[in-house]
Structure 1
Amino acid sequence: MTAADLFGSPRLALRARLLAGIKAGAGAGLDLLAERLLRMEPVHADDLLVVATVRFVQGKVETARSLLDCALSLSPRHLMVACTLARLGVLTPDVVAALAWHAETSDQAHEMLLAHVAATGRPACFIRQRQLHCAVAPGGRQLRMTWQHLVVRQDDLPASDKVQSWPLPLPEALLGPVDPVVAVDGVPVQSGLAAGRWLRPPRLSGLVEITDDGHYQARVLDMACPERPVAVLIMEGDRVVGRHVSVPPDGAVMLDVLDAPILSFQLPAGAGRVRLLFELTGEPLSLPPATPRAGAAEDGTVDVIVPVHGDRAATQACFDALLGCDPGWPMRIVAIDDRGPDPEIGQFLDDLARQGRIVLRRNPGNLGFVRSVNIGMALHPDRDVVLLNADTCVSAGWLGRLRAAALGSDRTGTATPWSNDATICSYPLANAPTPLADIDVEELDDVARTALAGRTMEVPTGVGFCLYIRRACLDQTGWFDAEAFGAGYGEENDFCLRATAQGWRHVIALDTFVGHVGGGSFGAAKQARINAALAVLATRYPDYEAEVHRFIAADPLGPARRLLDRARLLADGVPRPVLLVCAELGGGTERFLRERIAMLAAPVLLLRPVGGGRDGCVRLCLEVPDRLELNNLSYGDDGDGLAALHEDLIRFGVREMELHHPRLLRVGLLQELATWFPYRAHIHDYSWICPRITLTADKDRYCGEPPVDRCEICVGRFGDELGIGDMAVVEWRQAMASVLAGAGQVGCSTRDTAVRMHRYIPAARYEVAPAEKPALPPAPVLPTRRARGEGVRIVVPGAIGPPKGYQLLLDCARDARQRGLPLTFQILGYSLDDEELCQTGHIVVTGRYAEAEVPSLLALLRPHLAFLPSTWPETWCYALTHVMSAGLPVVAFDLGAQAERLRAWGRGALLPPALPPAAINDALLSLVVEG
């Protein structure tokens, strides 16, 4: 039966009259009332306690003692009964057990136990702050804790003439399942006083409601051990103005906080800012919105709350940085020691606390990140707070700038700085982590401070590694949800979304950077916690994930990251006079660019158009080959973006430009770029005259370069690789002609390329220079030989896609299979579809390779000759160089650079471009003579 069941009952009225009589000294006239209370059904321990008090007043000590014994048998954990018996000197095992049960929440029970040890010399075990203690009388010499005959701990006690209360911490892994046995000088202490489940780290849960008449009702429960008492404090400032203990009824089964007994109380009259805290941990309970919020004015100090669990090196580095620089605003560092596995971390924090450099709170067990944060935020109810991970690194002035961002508007609730690992607030990589070891935190913070001074931007959520929270936002939104988000991850997102619903906004402080190790506290369990948290967030806020993805896609922080990169690049003081313009194409074009950059005498910049095509969104991204970490120099291809790009290029010292490929560059943009600086161009393929780039048509074979009206039909039928849209081929050629004609030089790697381009754009100034100058061995004589009965092995070098002859090679292999030819094609590289080729049974594939591996791979393959099935007039072809340098005889089509180079070499075999697969196979077999 709960207290609520008794209100207004005759039983309560009788108790009240008896207690009033005792207070008035009318003990002799209370017999009838006492007898009536004793005869009420069912019998209650509280009734027996009241009547026993009457008998004491009447001098009937033995009767009182008998009543108390009955009361304790009815309620074996009754605190007042046990304390009363102890005062009478009755220290039976049952009394000691009851006192030990309440030692965590009752100072009176604790004192009684110590008095019992002093009076009897018998040790007693009890739990305080979820840690086992043993009180030992003077003369005790050795303390031993065992479990299943294993010695868990053994201590030699120092000599003392007083009772010693000795802590006996258990390793975290043993908390819960282990029922320890304690012995003093070999004699076991009374058993049953320290069950393992009582030692579990608390998981306190509470629910507070306000009744119509202004009373508060709280239900509180320790979910880790529901049978334990839970004490709640009412705090006004730093003063305790009320204390209530919820004692679960004996034998009650409580699975949820709603099963807990009700605590009823009123807030003190005229109270200001009131908090309700769990006494054991300091965790706050959320009070109903009707709670008064007026109170003392903010003193301006910010509480920087650092929950600490593991990673000693990162933790020490974090506090060294915090304490070693001027934060730019008054702060108090609050460390919450969450009882991690490394005792040296606790010693480190103790030293800082003794020096007065931090305020230290130590949890009574590992409570987890979220509960630790709540404990810290509840310590000073009039201060803004910063939640700071113990694996972060701050720089001078960080707090002042972060606070200025948070106070930038009345409705800003949180502020987050940049970091190397902060999801949407990450830099230098966007939305991705960068190892802390790869950056200089002070340099990046200084760049942010100067390049983006005083600037903020709204974000959909703050990020918890370093989160400034204004107290007004915290008051209105409530504490972090420890029940739902446990040990950490997602709790700040939930808080921010609740705050957003209340009208608060969240910003990134663009002028502040804080380093972050990232993820170390969670270890291998991180992904599981992330998944669980995301599931909760998805249930509570169905639109949240889509909103974050929209934010990432829109990338409003992109311009700010660009300004940071620009400032860092300008700080180098190194001019970069040459700008190379080329989409990322891979293959030989990328190799040419790398070699060109290496050849140039000065550092250069590389402009990459990036996007989905002419009709899609295209960004112009600057790469800095000698500073690849600067990856945010991105500009739109509209008027504002181009103006910013042009201005920055001039700042970076660009004086000339090289145009290497027009892909993804709309005509107007390309023509405007051509007006910015003197430039030269280079021909890597035929994109300047052919929207299909390679002069190929049906089956990706050479088109023969027909009249332009047939080119229009070809592009319409087989596709446009450049994405020129509705523009006619003739218009494209005219536009590109004006660009190439304006170039100081147009580089071509072969004469064939220059002659072919000259037919279309005769006004351009062509210059022929080989893309490379390999040292070639003497040309081998064809035909070559194979052993009798040996199959013919044909190596095919390179990345074999459509214009490189993929379909033709597949058709050749299928013909070889159909006719049973002794012919195997060996792809030195990879293809569009390796599996499809290999299924023919006449093709093998080595996979991607480094250039230095070519000799060893060819030695393994032992080919008889090489074949280039490329079906377009190449402009150079590095793969051809590989096999020529190896001294292999080479077969190719009589097209483009491949034909020109083989003729110059002397004895390559050239096939007609339109030769069918069967004829190609016959030609290859004829070039390898048996015998």
Structure 2
Amino acid sequence: MSPGDDRDRDAHPAAPAASPTDRSAIRARIFTAITNRDFDQAALFAQYLARISPVHADDLTVAALAWACKGELVAARRLLDQALELDPHQKMAAMTLARVAPPLTASALRALRWHTESDPAVIDLLVSHVVATGEPQGYVVARTVRCLLPPLARHAALRWRHLTLAEIHLEPSDQVRQIALPVPGPLRGIVDPTLFVDGIALPQGPFPASLLAAPRLAAVTQVMNPSLWHVQAMDRAAPDRPVALQLRNGDQIIGRHICVPVTNYAVTGLEDIPATPIEIPAGTENPVLYADLTGEPIGPPPPVGADDGIVDVIIPVHGDFDATQSCFTALLTQDPGTPMRVIAIDDASPDPRISAMLDDLARGRRIALVRNPTNLGFVRSVNIGMALHHGRDLVLLNADTVVAAGWLGRLRQAALASTETGTVTPWSNDATICSYPAANQPTPLAGLDIAALDRLAASTLSGHTIRLPTAVGFCMYIRRPCLAQTGWFDADTFGIGYGEENDFCLRATAQGWQHRMALNVFVGHVGGGSFGTAKQARIQSALRVLERLYPGYGEEVQSFIATDPLRTARRIFDLARLRDLSEQWPLLILCASLGGGTDRFIRTQIDQAQVQGRRALILRPEKQGDIVTLRLEVPDRLDFPNLVYDPRVELPQLRDDLNDMGVATLELHHAMNLPPSLLLELASWFPNHAYIHDYGWICPRYTLIDGSGRYCGEPQDTKICDQCVADHGDLMGLGIPVAEWRAIAGRVLAAAQSVTCSSADTARRMGRYVPTARFKLLPAEAAHTPPSAIMAPARSSTSEPLRVLVPGAIGPSKGYDVLLACAHDAAHRQLPLQWQVLGYSMDDAALLETGRVVISGQYREEEVPALMAQLRPHMAFLPSVWPETWCYALTHVMAAGLFIAAFDLGAQAERLRQRGHAMLLPIHAAAPAINDALLQSAASFTPDQLGLHVPAHYNDADSPTRYSPDQE
């Protein structure tokens, strides 16, 4: 049996989890060893620390220190360089490099420059570097560019594009000098200047604008009366800097004002900013206050103006050229279904291709373009766009979305259907609670036909909406009256992105607005591209803020997810797509998710049905606690996850859907997780055929193994069976006495048109319980032609260990206890025996500890011949202790031509009797007897001696099988 094979679910143990490594303890040992000047010991611990996975930059730095103390500077530098690759800002690594392995690398210098603001000690190291190399170094302290000049330098300049922002001329000196080159006030935090020394640009490149105090405005506005506002505003990136404001009436500037912080102490918040009175001139119809530097709206939105029927589609743009290009291509080539104006906010995109594309579109009057003076972030960009027109509804659209024809018209229709609707969100492949096909999780956009999904949504869910606890910001339609009453997005709290739309929606909800989802619109979404790997951290931070501001919000969202009001809509969506794949699905396969040989056999059934031109569906009973659901699966497709039915209330719907899809035949493969009454109901819907994969039809433990760990003998008194189930577990999840279950299963099997068994032994065994069933014999696999030569090598002598192959995933029913006992006995008696597990077991460590077992690990089926050639076994042993119904592992070793030992039980014994060149052991044989029999067989049989061998002490009474010809 190959790993992942067969019916024995408890033979598939999970890999053991590794123990957590105490990194701090290892570091402490290193420092203790260094203190004791035991540098060899420190290096040993350092080697261990540097290999702990995942690798941490801090650990590499400590390890490097140990190597440096030992005098191994090359090794120390290598670790420090690696630490800086992992964390470019790792100060400790850079400082250690400067002290133990100069000269400094570019990465170390970059890390030191990053910390000049917070640690003056790194400046001393930079000074030492300039002294040693004569290379100037520039860095930022207090939002000012500073430069360490070597003795002979005469001129320094700060330049941006073709402008010289600041410069200084110096006479030669014999010392390193430090100079400051401040950026002019109006450009501070906006430009990314480059430092030149004696006309040569420093290789570190431009200083990022973010280090030079990119503005982050915060403001509070109190409307004292229609003609007087009180405003407090500050730039949190540079709290001491005054903030200039513009008062506009529409597009006309009607006043300028400055908010100045209180001097003589540090500004920590808006409470330190005195209120600036702003008078609203008489006759001002639509007053809006803007930040002079950035154009952000400050204060309340203006009253709702006249609606001209146009919807503003606002798209902040920063990076990802390919996604952005796809977004604008779809947006501008598809008929939106209602008039729109596209407003692109270029948020200081670093990609010149994006800027050029937006410029071309703006010149062609296809979009309105606003270009931020610096990167302000998504939320501030959105606010700028929302403030451009006070009468229109608007859509906030991410630049990594893809829309289809008619999308905006249907969104607007949903928004205008009720005066209480404030926002509308469509479906998407990545839209948290509005996601499809997977609920509340993303599905990659690649490979999805967005236009087809949108058409399907429009045709199958036309006009349907559902109430949401919050909109989802990737594509968010906002009614202008809702915006006017609720206010702008909170850029101060959520300016970097995530959480802003939830905060807006919760404020709107408090004002009586509702948030709806348009079920007839689908918009594609790449998702997560704007923030890369930082996405999850930003989401978690935003959720903490939202929960602090709106206690209970998280529970409301979780309640929405748990109740899942979109479940039925997603199922309708799935069914519609399923019908598009095929007009008819005549075959329905009923089986729990068992894995192993059962699913392998079902895969064969599906393939055969497809060859015959029939499409197949799988109905999987799933159980969580006491709740059973029925999941309809499409073979080889993972994008139909919503075909789930609650049999307590949705059986009629399931039956109707199956009939609509043309189901005509049912195959019953396994009843695990099915309440008996539900099994009877499902079996009555269609003509059915049953398949026997194990003994779950008669045994709630499905392998006929009792507390001894071996075959139970099938006692006639079912009270013994009930006690076994009570003691060892009801693996089928039936919850009823064995006699009652056998009666129900018997009704189902007797009514089936056929009951297929892979072996005659299985048919005989089942025939005892359901004598009226129409049994049919069909091997699970096509017959293999016997090999022309035996693969097993000859033993060189009786002292050479007999290599015994044990194939499969070895758990209790596959004979794990037997194998372990045999290995212990061989070790104890020093027998020349070695077991080769071709696969894995429920406890590999215990087997390996015997010193008599080797384990290949999990493998793919196509690897079997190569693995066998590598292991070079002399024979095989299948220690399975239950009467198997087939056994794919046996097929592997039979095909290899090996001499095989197994217990005289079930299909494995039946197949070996037919094949010969095998030894059958009594089922209750002890480990010493098994080992002796294996060694005796190896001595008695040579590759050219084929036949069936049964030990002399074999008792035919051990075989429980009986068989009547009419059951064949």
Q: Any idea what the Cα deviations from partners look like across 1:499-520, whole Å, max 9, x if unmatched?
A: 3344433222111100111112
Q: 1:928 to 1:359 in 2, by over 3 A?
A: same
- Aligned AA (1:324): T
3-state SS of the aligned residue for 1:243?
Answer: strand
Give the conservation status (yes or no) of the 8 Å contact 1:580–1:604: no
Give the conservation status (yes or no) of the 8 Å contact 2:622–2:631: no
Q: 1:679 to 1:251 in 2, by over 3 A?
A: same
Q: Any idea what the Cα deviations from partners look like across 1:649-700, whole Å, max 9, x if unmatched?
A: 1221211111111111222222122222111111011111111111111143
- Between 1:715-724 and 1:781-790, the stretch displaced more is 781-790
Instruction: Report whether the alignment pairs 1:625 with 2:610.
Output: no
Instruction: Report whether the alignment pairs 1:202 with 2:225.
Output: no
Which one of the candidate residues 895, 905, 908 is aligned to 2:905? 895
Which one of the candidate residues 612, 626, 633 is aligned to 2:623? 612
> What pairs with 1:314-329 in structure 2 (closer than 5 Å)?
314-329=323-338
Which one of the candidate residues 882, 887, 900 is aligned to 2:892? 882
Instruction: Report whether the alignment pairs 1:230 with 2:243.
Output: yes
Query: Match of 1:584?
Result: 593
Instruction: Report whether the alignment pairs 1:572 with 2:581.
Output: yes
- Aligned AA (1:406): A
Q: Any idea what the Cα deviations from partners look like across 1:310-349, whole Å, max 9, x if unmatched?
A: 1112111111111111111222111110011111211211
Query: Match of 1:256?
Result: 269
Number of matched pairs: 760
Give the conservation status (yes or no) of the 8 Å contact 2:158–2:194: no
CA apart distance, 1:538: 3.9
Instruction: Report whether the alignment pairs 1:243 with 2:252.
Output: no
Q: 1:682 to 1:387 in 2, by over 3 A?
A: same
Distance 2:725 2:155 in 1: 82
CA apart distance, 1:495: 2.4
- Aligned AA (1:470): R
Instruction: Report whether the alignment pairs 1:760 with 2:769.
Output: yes
Query: Match of 1:58?
Result: none
Query: Match of 1:436?
Result: 445
Which one of the candidate residues 699, 704, 723 is aligned to 1:695? 704
Q: 1:711 to 1:852 in 2, by over 3 A?
A: same
Give the conservation status (yes or no) of the 8 Å contact 2:792–2:898: no
Query: Match of 2:202?
Result: none
Distance 1:284 1:610 in 2: 56
Q: Any idea what the Cα deviations from partners look like across 1:409-439, whole Å, max 9, x if unmatched?
A: 3333222111111122111222222221210
Distance 2:188 2:756 in 1: 71
Distance 1:508 1:729 in 2: 50
Give the conservation status (yes or no) of the 8 Å contact 2:694–2:885: yes
> What pairs with 1:397-416 in structure 2 (closer than 5 Å)?
397-416=406-425
Query: Match of 1:61?
Result: none
Query: Match of 2:402?
Result: 393
CA apart distance, 1:150: 8.5
CA apart distance, 1:626: 5.4
Q: 1:383 to 1:810 in 2, by over 3 A?
A: farther
Q: 1:294 to 1:460 in 2, by over 3 A?
A: closer
3-state SS of the aligned residue for 2:785?
Answer: coil
CA apart distance, 1:213: 11
3-state SS of the aligned residue for 1:921?
Answer: helix
Q: 1:818 to 1:294 in 2, by over 3 A?
A: same
Query: Match of 1:93?
Result: none
Q: Any idea what the Cα deviations from partners look like across 1:572-619, whole Å, max 9, x if unmatched?
A: 343221111111100100110111111121243333334226x62222
Structure 1 gap segments, 5+ residues each = 1-129, 133-145, 157-167, 187-193
Q: Any idea what the Cα deviations from partners look like across 1:880-900, whole Å, max 9, x if unmatched?
A: 101111111111111100000
3-state SS of the aligned residue for 2:336?
Answer: coil
3-state SS of the aligned residue for 2:715?
Answer: coil
Query: Match of 1:335?
Result: 344
CA apart distance, 1:365: 0.4
- Between 1:828-837 and 1:661-670, the stretch displaced more is 828-837
Query: Match of 1:422?
Result: 431
3-state SS of the aligned residue for 2:813?
Answer: helix
Q: 1:317 to 1:836 in 2, by over 3 A?
A: same
Distance 1:771 1:196 in 2: 69
Instruction: Report whether the alignment pairs 1:349 with 2:358.
Output: yes
Give the conservation status (yes or no) of the 8 Å contact 2:836–2:853: yes
Distance 1:233 1:155 in 2: 27
TM superposition score normalised by structure 1: 0.76
Q: 1:323 to 1:788 in 2, by over 3 A?
A: same
- Work out which of the two has the higher radius of gyration on C-alpha atoms and give 1 or 2: 1
3-state SS of the aligned residue for 1:653?
Answer: coil
Give the conservation status (yes or no) of the 8 Å contact 1:312–1:342: yes
CA apart distance, 1:475: 2.9
Give the conservation status (yes or no) of the 8 Å contact 2:261–2:272: no
Which one of the candidate residues 833, 849, 861 is aligned to 2:859? 849
- Between 1:293-302 and 1:861-870, the stretch displaced more is 293-302
TM superposition score normalised by structure 2: 0.74
Give the conservation status (yes or no) of the 8 Å contact 2:191–2:374: no
Give the conservation status (yes or no) of the 8 Å contact 1:562–1:633: yes
Q: 1:250 to 1:148 in 2, by over 3 A?
A: farther
3-state SS of the aligned residue for 2:446?
Answer: helix
Q: Any idea what the Cα deviations from partners look like across 1:756-791, whole Å, max 9, x if unmatched?
A: 000000111000011112233269699974545322
Q: Alpha carbon RMSD of aligned pairs, Å?
A: 3.2
Q: 1:738 to 1:320 in 2, by over 3 A?
A: same
Which one of the candidate residues 603, 608, 613 is aligned to 1:602? 613
Which one of the candidate residues 811, 814, 834 is aligned to 1:824? 834
CA apart distance, 1:548: 3.1
Distance 1:560 1:504 in 2: 24
Instruction: Report whether the alignment pairs 1:459 with 2:468.
Output: yes
- Aligned AA (1:703): C
Identity %: 55
Distance 1:314 1:173 in 2: 31
Distance 1:197 1:586 in 2: 54
Q: Any idea what the Cα deviations from partners look like across 1:251-282, whole Å, max 9, x if unmatched?
A: 76434333234311233446545432223222
Query: Match of 1:500?
Result: 509
Query: Match of 1:281?
Result: 294
> What pairs with 1:698-737 in structure 2 (closer than 5 Å)?
698-707=707-716, 708-725=718-735, 727-737=736-746
Give the conservation status (yes or no) of the 8 Å contact 1:783–1:926: no
- Aligned AA (2:604): E
3-state SS of the aligned residue for 2:467?
Answer: strand
> What pairs with 1:111-260 in structure 2 (closer than 5 Å)?
148=156, 153-154=161-162, 200-211=213-224, 215-247=228-260, 253-260=266-273
- Between 1:593-602 and 1:379-388, the stretch displaced more is 379-388
- Between 1:588-597 and 1:216-225, the stretch displaced more is 216-225
- Aligned AA (2:217): L
Q: Which has the higher contact order (CA 8 A, sep 6+)?
A: 2
CA apart distance, 1:877: 0.5
CA apart distance, 1:452: 0.6
3-state SS of the aligned residue for 1:201?
Answer: coil
Give the conservation status (yes or no) of the 8 Å contact 2:499–2:546: yes
- Between 1:868-877 and 1:488-497, the stretch displaced more is 488-497
Query: Match of 1:521?
Result: 530
Instruction: Report whether the alignment pairs 1:661 with 2:670.
Output: yes
Query: Match of 2:935?
Result: 925
- Aligned AA (2:873): P
Distance 1:215 1:327 in 2: 42
Give the conservation status (yes or no) of the 8 Å contact 2:792–2:897: no
Query: Match of 1:550?
Result: 559
Structure 2 gap segments, 5+ residues each = 1-142, 146-153, 165-182, 200-206, 943-968
Q: 1:196 to 1:371 in 2, by over 3 A?
A: closer
